[in-house]
Amino acid sequence: MSEVLARWNKATPEAAATQILPCCGSKTWARKMAARRPFADQASLTAASDETWRNLAESDWLEAFHSHPRIGESGKPGSSVEASDAWASQEQKEVADARAAVKIALAEGNREYERKFGRIFIVCATGKSAPQVLNILRRRMQNDAATELHEAAEAQRQITQIRLRKWLEG
């Protein structure tokens, strides 16, 4: 068991929820994860995370989505969660290094997505080039609202898994 997980298992419920919140961005998810402790290892933590995430209300998903910066931006304005901002920068590294034309297309796509769906575009950008992210954005613009909500929720689940691993590494 990692030292981070061992300490987290012993924290108060409030402290545990606060500590894990940057991994997802949903306060309900964080509270439910803290309530499910103790966890023996990363595998049991990530399995519980998936189950908890899938059983949240749409409003909880939207709260998690809202905790992210837009693709191509460096941090969520007014965010007080340093770890989450740092992770977002790492996850979007390929986008940050993209050519100007691709960045402009992503910015335009983000605005179009927000007009259509009323929230920012969520994608698990880790390991994806800016053109790949742009193609995903364009494909998902064809979705209806319900389909897109579930695709965004799946992307958030993937992001949470990556962030849980980083969090456990300290």
- Which pLDDT value is given to residue 79? 45
Catalytic site residue from 31, 32, 68, 140? 68
- Which pLDDT value is given to residue 170? 83
| Whether 68 is catalytic | yes
- Burial class from Cβ neighbours inside 10 Å (0-12, 13-18, 19+) for residue 88 reads buried
pTM for this predicted structure: 0.84
Q: Please enumerate in sequence order all residues whose Cβ is within 8 A of that of 139, keeping only pairs 6 or more positions apart, or say none.
A: none
Return the sign of the alpha-carbon dihedral for residues 49, 140, 74, 90: positive
- Which pLDDT value is given to residue 33? 98
- Which pLDDT value is given to residue 101? 87
Cα 158 to Cα 80, 88, 123: the distances in Å are 22, 13, 9
- Which pLDDT value is given to residue 91? 52
- Which pLDDT value is given to residue 165? 95
DSSP code of 2?
-
The segments of the chain whose pLDDT lies below 70 read: 74-98
Does the domain spanning 3-169 belong to CATH 1.10.3330.10? yes
- Which pLDDT value is given to residue 80? 42
List the domain boundaries for the chain: 3-169
